[in-house]
Amino acid sequence: MRLHILGICGTFMSGIAILAKQSGHDVTGSDMNVYPPMSTQLMEQGIQLMEGYDPSHIDPEVDCVIVGNVIKRGNPAMEYVLANRIPYISGPQWLAENVINKRWVLGVAGTHGKTTTTSLLTWILEQAGTQPGFLIGGVPQNFGVSARLGKDPYFVIEADEYDSAFFDKRSKFVHYRPRTMILNNLEYDHADIFPDLAAIKQQFQYLVRTIPGNGLIIRHADDSNLTDVLNMGCWTPVSTFGGSQGEWQASLLEKDGSAFRVLLNGKPLGDVHWDLLGNHNVDNALAALAAAHHVNIPVEAAISALSSFKNVKRRLEIKGKVNNIIVYDDFAHHPTAIATTLAGLRAKIGDQARMIAVVEFGSYTMRSGVHKERIQDSLSLADMVVCKSTEADWGLKSILAEFKQPTALFDNVDTLVTSLVPKLHAGDHIVIMSNSGFGGVHKKLLDAIEKGGILHGT
């Protein structure tokens, strides 16, 4: 079939494109926001990528158009599809009907940690020799691609609560019909589509209703919002991890989370030594181990696989080290994610090294000011906080004025880089956090440091 994908560079839709290509379809796509790593992997897969939404991008002989949830009415390509009665479908529905309808689906849902946990679980199954299919909202470095068909029966998927399309406002994960389901956590997010936390809980309850009685729900033990969801109705056995009462627990061997002992119902099962940092990633590992256990992967093999796991790009990824200054890239943009990212790195580098947070609050939720009262606490571990302003004035300047540590707010990336570099010290750790390309700030900052910013210290 000839398929055209609108919004192809989204983390989810690029995975759909790869799966369609691997299924033997002729795939093309259009998008307005084209930047790595998704654009790069699409080109590597031989998928034609076109900038913008010109109707001429769509082959007159196209069999179906797969519509990303970024597409709205008024989009010229979408209006062309509707006017010419071209068959169209949402990405999640296409996936459900064409790829995972007969697979054992292992899903990972939650406000935070979905991408990392999905990647962890996929790697465990891969190392166990099952060659699972997967679709991940990022590029796991162990695989170098965000999706593949794999072999039966297992398919691991990042189960996103965001809506499916402008014509299907159900959360994506309602389409997936998982048999093994991880529920990492639940907080208020996506203020552009959910009016309140109760609306998100309802979508999670719809997900729970699709999980069979011979499946398994794996949930964080201490998350009260998940408890609320399951109290609305649950027809599936439940296993727990983390917190104070979880069946799956970890005993830290290193305070930064780089080493820990795994316990099931108090019984030690083995030790993990890996490259990841932070208590949140320890919890992610416990969830993945529990899911692998459900599909009969030996615990010893699963624990062993974690030692060779390489995290997803943009998860505290080191972009470069210049003049003894390390620049990291992280996808964190919600206060909880920001706090856990910084806590993990602080535990690693200690209290003496300076940690500088460079933040772009680009998501609709943050720009709407929903979590603005939490921003100061989430960044409290940083020694300096530098932000880029957004188009909408939601009070960020006033929020930063209340910080105890030095802060700065800039209108554009170039001015941010020029002003920050002279303030840097040798030995600094700079954590860049954003859910977008952030104007290429990572490379610009590294280049500026290399060209001779005024560096202090040793």
| pLDDT one-digit tens code per residue, 227-244 | 999 999 999 999 999 988
What is residue 423's predicted lDDT score, i.e. its pLDDT?
92
Measured between alpha carbons, how far is 91 from 82 in angstroms, rounded to an integer?
17
Q: In the predicted model, what is the mean pLDDT of residues 126-147?
A: 93
Helix, strand, coil shares of the chain as percentages rounded to 5?
35, 25, 40
Question: Which tokens is 321 given?
Answer: 């080290």
Question: Which tokens is 81 given?
Answer: 């599809």
Vertex 191: Cα angle to 381 and 281 (nearest 5): 40
State pLDDT tens for residues 339-377.
Answer: 888 988 898 888 889 999 999 886 655 555 566 778 888
What is residue 141's predicted lDDT score, i.e. its pLDDT?
85
What is residue 457's predicted lDDT score, i.e. its pLDDT?
40
Looking at the predicted structure, is the pLDDT value of residue 103 above 90?
yes
Cα dihedral across residues 276, 278, 284, 287: positive or negative: positive
Measured between alpha carbons, how far is 266 from 283 in angstroms, rounded to an integer?
16
Question: Which tokens is 33 given?
Answer: 């926001």
Measured between alpha carbons, how far is 93 from 353 in angstroms, rounded to an integer?
48
What is residue 241's predicted lDDT score, i.e. its pLDDT?
97
pLDDT-derived band at 283, boundaries 50, 70, 90:
very high
What is residue 364's predicted lDDT score, i.e. its pLDDT?
56
Measured between alpha carbons, how far is 71 from 53 in angstroms, rounded to an integer?
10
Looking at the predicted structure, is the pLDDT value of residue 181 above 90?
yes
What is residue 313's predicted lDDT score, i.e. its pLDDT?
65
Q: Which of 371, 365, 370, 415 is nearest to 389 (CA)?
A: 415
Looking at the predicted structure, is the pLDDT value of residue 450 above 90?
no
Confidence (pTM): 0.80
What is residue 376's predicted lDDT score, i.e. its pLDDT?
87
Amino acid letter for position 425 = H
pLDDT-derived band at 392, boundaries 50, 70, 90:
low
What is the average pLDDT score of the chain? 90
Return the top range by mean pLDDT from 292-296, 366-370, 453-457.
Answer: 292-296
Give the residues across from 327 on adjacent strands.
Answer: 320, 430
State pLDDT tens for residues 10-46.
Answer: 889 999 999 999 999 999 999 997 766 677 889 888 9
Give the residues across from 321 on adjacent strands.
Answer: 326
Domains parsed from the chain with CATH numbers: 2-93 (3.40.50.720), 100-306 (3.40.1190.10), 317-450 (3.90.190.20)
What is residue 454's predicted lDDT score, i.e. its pLDDT?
45
The bridge status of strand 180-183 relative to strand 104-109 is parallel
